[in-house]
Chain A
């Protein structure tokens, strides 16, 4: 069965009965080529891909192929069985997918998720020196496919692992939406008997330069060796492989598309710095919540919410559409100190009257909203828009989803949104919490 080919190439290959993985000799006008038939990832349906004996892949147009001979059929692959690891180690790794928990098929270059516990443990054999580790593949999805239902499942798996005696839990996750999941876990797990360390990688683990081994090692070490009871995201602290930073799950944001140190704490210090090679943990935060005797779970999320980023020219009628679509809450990412055009005021008023929560954050990312400074701000507040201090908009939407599942009374929702539940709101920011950008 030729799985990855279509069109002309498929016709040719079917005619000779060739399949991916077969050793072929292909006759062209001027030469013969010997190589292994690779799965196609070409956009041209006439191209067949051969891996030559020198290791190179080349694309040959099937129109130029005069003859084809199969030297060896591909070896039959043995289906892997999925061993389930019932044992609980000092640290439990819960794998949800993403680059960190995937491996490359060297033949095709295709990256596939790690399927078994053993495969995960094989990534970093040295992790055994740091802690007695067990692993569980919860699911294998790309982080952009993450959903609130999965957040619930992860929260439950974390609680189970801690209840079974793990000193700490490491959650392997794709990086794109890891900050959202970190916030969701933070709200879902009000009490923790050990650290929950989320980890991902920005360079896939098939590369010798991957950050996954160091991030994973560091996270296992942190999960075992520290005594906080919070959810953190632990990733490279700088481009060099020197240390990782554990960011509080409700303050962290992916700030770069590709760098290893993409994750940063915004409006706050990271919780800890981990010197993975020196095996040293530096706690950077003063008010850290410590391990509790037991783990409490309170999870579930309302998904009828909307995160609205304002831009000049945005039409306020969109709010009416949102109201009629049945949403229960809106987080506005306004400009500057927390503004939209004044035209929005009556629309927001209508929304809040309908019992819809409307909260204001800033698209500046850094700093606190303050809607008392300008008239517009005051007008919006009069319309029922609630300023949400220095919380990140992404964290605010997760928090709102969590609250709306527990409260229906708008006043109580407002109260909870105003309360600092897990460290997502800060009361003071110092001069050094804002990064200075390169300017030559």
Chain B
């Protein structure tokens, strides 16, 4: 598909960046923020849309409710308590997290409110045991400078992270629930995919520079609000890789363009809502396709399921219309029935005959459905009730094609495309969390927070250069997720362990270990710190760092065991080993040759345990000694 000029089509993107904060305690209780998983008590709960306002339940809430609402929660004792189990009211708002929110607001020029109110945002997909997420707005306004223009900040909030979804359906761990998040929402001032990535990077860097950002998979999440002219603001959730952002933005813009083209084409063909309502009726095709060699169809029919079809009037050629890489209108329909009724199989006219469904069978289906050449059709397979509901969903989605781009919340796929998750909630329904007292910000609060205001990247860069890092390494470090660990270690061990060594260990050595197939997740902050301390205390040489870390990453050795393995030999031992190597030489007449051989033999034993330079010195010394001995003898 040709890459359109996205600025031309009125691309508008807003970002919502969510970053977990590395505070001592969770946002509303005393639990640690380490997301350690593990076993725990199992709780089974139901969530229901609020009862007292049945007339006004919002669409997203109703959607979740209709899918059945029994959830299972695992409550690991080490990192969840009665507050996460929704068995105790929340404690006061964590001030350490609030301080970060204020500091980031200051850095972005946002106006901080005078009194902070915690709100409850209704979420009943099970990810919060309460059925709502607690969130507090800290500031409004502000901006980020970007080369393609300023991007406004809408709001900065502090909120609790949701429970962690486990593999089993509707099952969550409470370990992550309540971990503080800072959310930064930008205005839809972003106009190119690349700008979206740049701004996300800039925000991520700013958050890391506070020194309070968590690291690791899932610690930062980007949501994107994407629209094009004539389209709809679609929310794309959970983009974890920054590099994926431009792709997601582009694909979503293309999808919206495609949907608008479909709308124009349907208009041209004179399709109306009444036409779809009147002509799109479910028809049982079980008999017509009983002999089909399609595996899904024959399996479902054997198990008592049905095959049903429905005409899509004048949709011929449109169901297969490409809406992005490997995405067609048919894929959208399949997403919908999967989400709404949990049904897997959908076939549509533009992809048939295929999958074992023959041309003859397609003709038969067309006849039964009275679908002409210009019409399309879909076939669903499964239990009767699900199939019937699925056809209703398909019909509703077809009608939406007449309107253009539906208002949806979509999830990002790994390939940069997106899939339908759920309809977007109406205006987010929020009401006050009366269990948490409001926080009136004082001058003292503001001054305490000011200490956390991240430095400007340029200022930071200068500091890194001053520590002896070269320009390239400084820039890498500035953008590194390890920046806070780097600073911590520099404060402790620099200059005896040079900052450059610490930086290259984090940035280059870890890459080397990965390239060797090592498991870098075993190289925790603690491991890096232990190794640096060992260098600082002269227990090991700096040359042995890669070997030690590789040992830890590859084997099941603990870092202390690995350090022991490479621990520095004392001078006497080095001298003894070098002397043996020199004494083994048959002659030392060719000094250069003698040195090379002795050095090679000594290093075989000493590599990684002693600086090469020191070995060389010892070899020279020992050759000199032997020469004198030989002379004395000779």
**Does B418 sit at the interface, judged by CB under 8 A?**
no
For A105-141 the 0/1 string (1 means CB < 8 A from B) is 0111111000000010011110000000000000000
Q: How far is the CA of A64 from the CA of B124 in the complex (A)?
A: 38
Q: Is B121 an interface residue (CB 8 A)?
A: yes
A206 in contact with B113 given A58-B137, A104-B431, A109-B434 (CB within 8 Å): no
Chain A CB within 8 A of B617 CB: no
| A-contacting residues, B423-440, CB 8 Å | 427-434, 438, 440
Which residue from chain A places its CB closest to the CB of B86 in the assembled complex? A209
Task: Please determine whether A58 and B89 come into contact, CB atoms closer than 8 angstroms.
Answer: no
Does A57 touch B at the CB level, under 8 Å? yes
Q: Report if A54-B428 is in contact (Cβ < 8 Å); known contacts: A125-B54, A209-B86, A242-B44.
A: yes
A124→B51 contact, CB < 8 A: yes
- B50/A33 in contact, CB under 8 A: no
For residue B88, CB closer than 8 A to chain A, the reply is yes
A434 at the interface (CB under 8 A from B): no
A203 contacts the other chain (CB 8 A)? yes
B187 interface hit (Cβ, 8 Å): no
Q: A55-B121, A57-B119, A60-B113 are in contact. Are A31 and B48 (CB under 8 A)?
A: no
Q: A47-B114, A55-B430, A59-B115 are in contact. Are A33 and B140 (CB under 8 A)?
A: yes
Interface centre among B88, B114, B116, by most A CB within 10 Å? Answer: B114
Comparing B126-134, B367-375, B547-555, B574-582, the segment that makes contact with chain A is B126-134
| Contact digits for A206-243, partner B, Cβ 8 Å, 1 yes 0 no | 11111001100000000000000000000000011110
In the complex the two chains form, is B114's CB within 8 Å of A241's CB? no
Contacting pair A31 B53 (CB below 8 A): no
Closest A residue to B61 using CB positions? A208
User: Is B52 touching A240 in the complex (CB atoms < 8 A)?
Assistant: no
A103 on interface, CB distance cutoff 8 Å = yes
Q: Check A107 against B44 for contact (C-beta < 8 Å).
A: no
Q: A59 touching B44 by the CB < 8 A rule?
A: no
B269 CB contacts on chain A under 8 angstroms: none
List of B residues within 8 angstroms of A61 by Cβ: 114-115
Whether, in the assembled complex, A354 has its beta carbon less than 8 Å from a beta carbon of chain B, the answer is no
Task: Name the residue on A nearest B41 (C-beta).
Answer: A239
Interface residue B117 (Cβ < 8 Å from any Cβ of A): yes
**Is B115's CB under 8 angstroms from A213's CB?**
no
Number of B residues with CB within 8 Å of any CB on chain A: 55
CA distance A56 to B115 in the complex (A): 12
Whether B438 contacts A42 by the Cβ 8 Å rule is: yes
CB-defined contacts of A110 to chain B, threshold 8 Å = 434
CB–CB A31/B111 < 8 A: yes
Return the chain B residue nearest A111 by Cβ: B434
At the interface, yes or no: B359 with Cβ under 8 Å from chain A?
no
Cβ-closest chain B residue relative to A262:
B87
Chain A's interface size range is 35 or more
A209 touching B429 in the complex, CB below 8 Å, given contacts A55-B121, A58-B137, A241-B44: no
Residue interface bits A320-343, CB-to-B below 8 A is 1, else 0: 000000000000000000000000
Is the CB–CB distance between A41 and B438 below 8 Å?
yes
A352 interface residue, CB < 8 Å from B? no
A57, B138: Cα distance in complex, Å: 10
Inter-chain contacts of A123 with B (CB < 8 A) = 51-52
B438 touches A59 (CB 8 A): yes
Give Cα A107 to B432, complex, Å: 8
Q: How far is the CB of B441 from chain A (nearest CB, A)?
A: 9
Instruction: Tell me whether B155 is interfacial, beta carbon within 8 Å.
Output: yes
Q: How far is the CB of B63 from chain A (nearest CB, A)?
A: 14
Report the minimum CB–CB distance from B160 to chain A (whole Å). Answer: 14
CB of A241 within 8 A of CB of B46, answer yes
Query: Could you write out 16 A-B pairs with CB less than 8 Å apart?
Result: A30-B111, A41-B432, A54-B428, A56-B117, A56-B119, A56-B157, A61-B115, A110-B434, A123-B52, A205-B52, A208-B122, A208-B131, A209-B45, A239-B41, A259-B82, A260-B87
